[in-house]
Structure 1
């Protein structure tokens, strides 16, 4: 960070030094070294260990995410898999998103393993040669409308967030919406305003004039004056 550390040194009272006394400069240097060592042990090493642990946990979570959804992230990843590797990926995905029914005690899978494997094999031969990301592959699948299990898999992929940044942004918007002037706001209106603030990019694409005109036409208190 290019910040020069400066450690506070206690003011020492100067007095006349006799011939048999030790040098005060050595004691001052020892105090400076002790302050540097305390800063290194109590703050610097703790900060480095915390950052290292956080990064390690984050990359481990990303590694687990890649093991489950790696074959869906790009067309190059999907085409590079052979039959055995693709079968393993489909099995991992199917087992991850499965649940047991409490009434019948049967395992319910979100996607069928055999159907997903067959659709992915067909998709490997259908995809164009140019590289495609996950969103482009999902748009390609929706236009074809022929791979229902792959479509479900991509919906699960886009639903699960990799980080908590979007959730943190949502909470940061909440303190701007729910202030003391809006203490009587209902939950429905708060959800609507929060959605508008969070999805501002989609809101800019909507023609607000048509919505206002439609709302004004349906207002029962509106009167026509001639």
Structure 2
């Protein structure tokens, strides 16, 4: 039989007494270090997120609208406007914009949009290119939170149990979920009457309201 040998503990595991905790590793110091690391990470991510070229372009477009509404001069060269916008007419209309917003201070694009919406139709027709720019600012996904809410809504609507839902129905449900304020103002009775009156089968099933 082979001779029994007693295995020895490796040298790196000998003398394993607990080392003294250095002064810089106390719980309060560790917490402060982790806190500042978290703040630095958040600060860096915010700078990275809001320094993107597309976001800066959206900010410049919105600033151009608000400055023009307040009577300031605007340069349109760096706004990268789509081909559907006539730059020459837009430049002229931006110079005229302050004449219809003078009595109503406009500090945001929504304020300008509200002011244009309340104008007389003939006066409003003089600012067609401005309306295009305002619509572009309000509908740009990176400048509004609606797109972020839409993705969050989709995660709740289209689950594993609703995997066979059609794209049209999913779109309608997502819009109703995101724009609850508009949905709450709809006359439900009138909507049900319209739904029932489409076919005779629905009238026989749901009755007449």
TM-score, normalization by structure 2: 0.70
Structure 1: unaligned runs, 5 residues or longer: 1-12, 15-23, 99-108
Do residues 140 (structure 1) and 132 (structure 2) align?
no
Change (3 A) 1:126 1:197: closer
Change (3 A) 1:165 1:120: closer
> Please, what is the CA RMSD of the aligned residues?
3.2
Structure 2 match to 1:129 = 103
Change (3 A) 1:117 1:154: same
Task: Give me the whole-angstrom Cα distance separating, in 2, the residues matched to 1:202 and 1:56.
Answer: 34
Structure 1 position 153, deviation (Å): 0.6
Structure 2 match to 1:115 = 89
Do residues 161 (structure 1) and 141 (structure 2) align?
yes
Task: Give me the whole-angstrom Cα distance separating, in 1, the residues matched to 2:97 and 2:148.
Answer: 36
Structure 1 position 165, deviation (Å): 4.0
Task: Give me the whole-angstrom Cα distance separating, in 2, the residues matched to 1:201 and 1:189.
Answer: 20
Task: Give me the whole-angstrom Cα distance separating, in 2, the residues matched to 1:165 and 1:151.
Answer: 21
Change (3 A) 1:80 1:60: farther
Tell me the matched-pair count: 181
Structure 1 position 50, deviation (Å): 1.9
Structure 1 match to 2:63 = 70
Name which of structure 1's ranges 111-120 and 168-177 shifts more when overlaid on structure 2.
168-177
TM-score, normalization by structure 1: 0.65
- Counterpart of 1:97 in 2: which secondary structure? coil
Task: Give me the whole-angstrom Cα distance separating, in 1, the residues matched to 2:153 and 2:190.
Answer: 27
Structure 1 position 40, deviation (Å): 6.7
Structure 1 position 119, deviation (Å): 0.9
Structure 1 position 179, deviation (Å): 2.7
Change (3 A) 1:67 1:183: closer
In the TM superposition, what whole-angstrom CA distance separates every residue of 1:77-111 from its partner, at most 9, and x where no partner exists? Answer: 643424xxx2x2x2222xx124xxxxxxxxxx231
